Chain A
Amino acid sequence: MTAQPTINTLDVEELRAVVADALELPVEEVTDDARFKEDLDVDSLISLEIAVRIEEQYGIRIDDSDLADLGSFRLISELVADRVAGRSAA
């Protein structure tokens, strides 16, 4: 039985550092469930920046339809884990 790809297959702290850098925030503030807009007071344009950096870092494709799903670190890490697994399986 093949294990389902999960957030644990990623280097989560590396991803957190990428996101924190994009948000221009200390990495400690980027907790799993802090909402960027509501809790961290981050501009909505930042989801573009996060998407661009994630693509560059992981070589995965983020579509504009994904942007609304980049509102917290947990959502991002789930999306990246899913895409990285999809790329590996392709």
Chain B
Amino acid sequence: MSAAARAVRGEAADGAARRPVALVTGGSRGIGRAVVVRLAEDGHDVAFCYRSDADAAETTAKAARAAGARVLARRVDVAEAGAAREFVTEAVRELGPPDAVVTCAGITRDRPLALMTDEEWREVIDTNLHGTYHVCRAAVFPLMKRRKGAIVTLSSVAGVHGSAAQTNYAASKAGIIGFTRSLAREGGKYGVRANVVAPGLITTDMTAALPEAVTKRHLEQIPLGRAGTPKEVADLVAYLVSDRAAYITGQVVEINGGLPG
């Protein structure tokens, strides 16, 4: 490849190694934070976005910097296409083209379908499914141009198996699965892999909001008898974006303590 072509790709003219770059959405808390920190520990520079909690985002950024990463943290609502695109553009400009994209941004608005409001439905689809689309749409061409890269989208066991009072959430997470499997087919020719991680019960702020009785019922169904941790999910994500997973694409990997479908 010519020096000019390398420059177009944001690579050093002499082809010298650079730190890989990861883009992570929903990075301020929970699974997203664990992913940011883990990828930083693995040697990535990380650009992450968050929607609301600036203090939590700063905590995440500090941890990632302590691991030696260059960090770009931006407040972005991924449901807004323009904002998501701007985030990706700035990340590419500041850190270089991405090697990995991990979409963790997600919300819940749980309610039985008979009681669900249109707003609750739309909010969840907008953030979880449209947000995933917006960020991947903006990032995929830079990945393809480098003929290498990994995308990991966060779904949920709800998206695989369904979940009562979560039709909106499950629909968004099931949509992410179809989206990602299709993206894997498009990207394969360009060395771009795309996989889904579908966590079960994980100890995060999101699951802490569940009623105690619901959590207890879930735990009784989990063969390993406990909830998972964000770090355990981040370890799986780190594996999937690494070259160790170079032959894995288009897969849905559940991490759920053995929860039966």
| Residue ranges of A at the interface with B (Cβ–Cβ < 8 Å) | 45, 48-49, 51-52, 55-64, 67, 87
Chain B residues near A67: list those with CB within 8 A: 141
- Shortest Cβ gap from B74 to chain A (Å): 21
Instruction: Determine whether the beta carbon of B190 is less than 8 Å from that of A87.
Output: no
Q: A48-B144, A52-B145 are in contact. Are A59 and B186 (CB under 8 A)?
A: no
Instruction: Determine whether the beta carbon of B144 is less than 8 Å from that of A59.
Output: no
Distance A45 CA – B188 CA, assembled complex (angstroms): 12
Q: A45-B186, A48-B190, A49-B189 are in contact. Are A60 and B8 (CB under 8 A)?
A: yes
Q: A45-B186, A48-B190, A52-B190 are in contact. Are A59 and B145 (CB under 8 A)?
A: no
Query: Can you report 12 A-B residue pairs in the complex whose CB atoms are below 8 A from each other?
Result: A45-B186, A48-B141, A48-B144, A49-B189, A52-B190, A55-B8, A55-B145, A56-B1, A58-B5, A59-B3, A60-B8, A63-B141
Distance A51 CA – B2 CA, assembled complex (angstroms): 16
The answer to the question of B4 belonging to the interface, with a C-beta cut-off of 8 Å to chain A, is: yes
CB-contacts of B1-37 with A (<8 A): 1-9
Known: A56-B1, A63-B141, A64-B141. 17 other contacts (CB 8 A): A48-B144, A48-B190, A49-B189, A51-B141, A55-B8, A55-B9, A56-B5, A57-B5, A58-B4, A58-B5, A59-B2, A59-B5, A59-B8, A60-B4, A60-B8, A62-B145, A67-B141
Chain A residues near B1: list those with CB within 8 A: 56
**What is the total of A-B residue contacts with beta carbons within 8 Å?**
37
Distance A89 CA – B100 CA, assembled complex (angstroms): 34
Chain A residues near B144: list those with CB within 8 A: 48, 52
Chain B residues near A58: list those with CB within 8 A: 4-5
Distance A59 CA – B3 CA, assembled complex (angstroms): 8
Q: A48-B141, A52-B144, A52-B147 are in contact. Are A59 and B4 (CB under 8 A)?
A: yes
Instruction: Determine whether the beta carbon of A87 is less than 8 Å from that of B4.
Output: yes
Distance A49 CA – B190 CA, assembled complex (angstroms): 8
In the complex, the chain B residue whose C-beta lies closest to that of A49 is B189
- Shortest Cβ gap from B232 to chain A (Å): 35
- Shortest Cβ gap from A90 to chain B (Å): 11
